Structure 1
Amino acid sequence: MEKVTLRNDAVRYGTFLGIVAIVFAVAGMFWQSGWLSLLSLAVYVTLLYIFTKRHAARYDAAEGCSYGRCLKFILFMALFEGILAGAYQIVAVNWLFEARYEEIMAQTLAAVEATGIYTRDQIQLVGEMATRMTHSPIWVIASGIFGSLIKGLFFGLFVSAFASRKPEVFSRNNE
């Protein structure tokens, strides 16, 4: 059995999760649907389970893979997913889909203005701040990582329970 490395598996699988998240982000920008969001969530949780189960299976039967070790692996995967998703967000906002993001921002601010709760100056100030933050690489990467870690932690609490593997008492390595 090859040596189990948390970092190599987390980078490989986290990158794949990041690519899947990017595909769903692009699709969600053009086809806003509740079904697409639900499909994205189902794919994310399924991949999280498959990758964690695959990583847990690489440990020795005598050693097993504990709940905490699985959760740690999920958090490392989420870290790399967040870095990749944040990098995509920077490229998308600044170069690929700049006009689309400005259109979405204008629609959002118009909807907030239609509520009548805020003044025009307040909405303009919020719009300027939001534009600065979406064009700031540090904020985008940090928010991508933070969001992925929160999502990974929440779903990881459940996935780790099903993907963990207890040590086998009568395995050959225990003799």
Structure 2
Amino acid sequence: MGKTSFWNDAAKYGAMVGLLLAVSTVVENSIVLSGRLWLYMLLMVEWVVAVVLHYYLLHRFTRRRAMQRDETEGFSFGEAYGFIAAMSALGGIISGAVQYIYVYGIIGYGRYIERSADALYSIMARNGNVSASMENLLSQSVAQMQQSPEPSVFSAVGGGVLTSLLFGLVFGLFIASTVSRPAKPFGGPEGNV
């Protein structure tokens, strides 16, 4: 297998990770805005599936990158960890951009806050056991959300990058330790004299 550019691979594989995270973000937001309690239970399943797939993709792509290096060069922990960080950052940019487009462009920030509050009130009303102090706190929280200014595109994309980097760097500790291998400048066992 021939060598390819670090940044080309990081961009290609980061885009695939970003696509997974973007789909996950849209599904999660849709579930939250639905106000259906049974879908909220599926939210945990969706989150676990997204985390497992995120780990799998990072591991697979980093292992593929490591296999491109021949035995004499090796593939250090730092190279693997850096590759994972680059993929995660680029994936986070895509995820954050999709989050911004979905929440602020398609739904609209004001409508998003309104639908979030309606979903929350709907779930609380169905349970029927909301104390007066909790209801007051909930009303204050919703009022503060409605009065807050719309976040910028940079904060939305930055949030996606930070979230993806956090997961990538934690996962990267395990992945980089399993795919890294020392350089063997003299080849395999038969290269030793």
Q: TM-score range by the shorter chain?
A: 0.7 to 0.9
Separation in 2 of the partners of 1:58 and 1:102?
Answer: 50
Separation in 2 of the partners of 1:38 and 1:161?
Answer: 23
Q: Percent identity?
A: 26
Is 1:37 the counterpart of 2:47? The answer is yes
Which of 88, 94, 108 aligns to 1:78? It is: 88
Is 1:154 the counterpart of 2:170? The answer is yes
Separation in 2 of the partners of 1:155 and 1:105?
Answer: 34
CA contact (8 A) 1:6 1:73 kept: yes
Is 1:14 the counterpart of 2:30? The answer is no
CA contact (8 A) 1:4 1:59 kept: no
CA contact (8 A) 2:92 2:164 kept: yes
* Structure 1 pair 171–95 and aligned structure 2 pair: CA distance change class (3 A): same
**Letter of the 1:67 counterpart:** F
2:77 aligns to what?
67
* Structure 1 pair 93–119 and aligned structure 2 pair: CA distance change class (3 A): closer
Shift of 1:54: 0.4
**With structure 1 as the length reference, what TM-score do the two structures score?**
0.82
1:165 aligns to what?
181
CA contact (8 A) 2:96 2:157 kept: yes
* Structure 1 pair 102–120 and aligned structure 2 pair: CA distance change class (3 A): closer
Is 1:95 the counterpart of 2:105? The answer is yes
Q: Which runs of 5+ in 2 are unaligned?
A: 32-38, 125-129
Q: Which runs of 5+ in 1 are unaligned?
A: none
Separation in 1 of the partners of 2:160 and 2:177?
Answer: 26
Rg larger in structure: 2
CA contact (8 A) 2:88 2:168 kept: yes
**Letter of the 1:163 counterpart:** V
Worse overlay, 151-160 or 32-41: 32-41
**With structure 2 as the length reference, what TM-score do the two structures score?**
0.75
Worse overlay, 24-33 or 2-11: 24-33
* Structure 1 pair 18–122 and aligned structure 2 pair: CA distance change class (3 A): closer
Which of 104, 129, 132 aligns to 2:116? It is: 104
* Structure 1 pair 121–45 and aligned structure 2 pair: CA distance change class (3 A): closer
The Cα RMSD (Å) is 2.9
* Structure 1 pair 10–105 and aligned structure 2 pair: CA distance change class (3 A): farther
Count of residues in Structure 1 that have an aligned counterpart in Structure 2 = 171
Separation in 2 of the partners of 1:23 and 1:17?
Answer: 10
1:132 aligns to what?
150
Shift of 1:150: 1.0
Shift of 1:165: 2.3
**Letter of the 1:3 counterpart:** K
Which of 54, 57, 63 aligns to 1:47? It is: 57
Separation in 1 of the partners of 2:136 and 2:177?
Answer: 45
**Letter of the 1:75 counterpart:** A
